[in-house]
Amino acid sequence: MISACNSTGVMEASYYPLKSDAKPHPGVAKAHRFPVHGIDVSKWQGEIDWFEVKRAGTAFAFIKATEGGDHLDERFRLNWEGARQAGVPRAAYHFVFWCRPAEEQAAWFRQNVPRDADALPPVLDVEWNGHSRTCPKKIDPELARQKIAIMLKAMREHTGKKPIIYTDIPFHAEVLEGHYKDHDFWLRSVAAEPHERYENRNWKFWQFTTTGRVPGIKGPVDRNVYAGPRRDWQRFLAENGVTGRQVASNDAEE
């Protein structure tokens, strides 16, 4: 671990000096003190050199797979296999489209995401579709939770692993607060630490910036941290069947 200056000139602990942030925010400076870092990617990152990503100290990757009931990310299969070959533990995520029946979305996920035993638990990405031209409206919170329950159950049955829930601040406050206490959460908070933005919610993963820079990826990329120390991370990997070459490769980055 070395020290590096953040945007305010304060020295921060940095485990991965090859990584950076184009627009660092002082409110999330603590993220750099966590030892286990990862990324999340989709087609927007373009072609990725996964071996360079791994060499920079990337311990995990969340990879966009499906959206709604008929959209497959154009680079999912390339990213899925590329991460596997480089030894980067990876999870597939599904972006929920609230105007589509949950059963159709679950079937689409099952159709397109491999049941790889060495994958991390799948992720259900729940946030409002505010930028959609065809489905911009919010739905009733109880209906949203009903859809979430259907998809969580289907994803668990398909992969054999309890899904992680990804969300942002508004959706959590309006739909998720007080619910799903038995699930691991991946929280977005790019201007403050998660406990400052989320009421009564423990987290397993924290997305702390959308303007990260990581070798092997040409443009900006979301960066994330795992909540615990390396020994807890290795236990999490083992519990989810991620062993052998991937765990050994992660150890080499310490």
Active-site annotation, residues: 40, 127
What is the distance, to the nearest Å, from the Cα of residue 74 to the centroid of all Cα atoms in its chain?
18
Rounded Cα distance, 243 and 60, in Å: 13
Instruction: From 54, 44, 127, 46, select the one nearest 90 (Cα to Cα).
Output: 54
Whole-angstrom distance, CA of residue 108 vs CA of residue 102: 10
Contacts of residue 81, defined as CB under 8 A and 6 or more positions apart, other chains included, come to none
Positive or negative torsion for Cα 212, 214, 217, 219:
positive
CA distances in angstroms from 241 to 40, 42, 185, 218, 237, listed in the order given: 20, 24, 19, 31, 6
Alpha carbons 43 and 123: distance in angstroms, whole number = 17
Q: Give the CB-side neighbour count of residue 138, counting CA atoms within 13 A.
A: 11
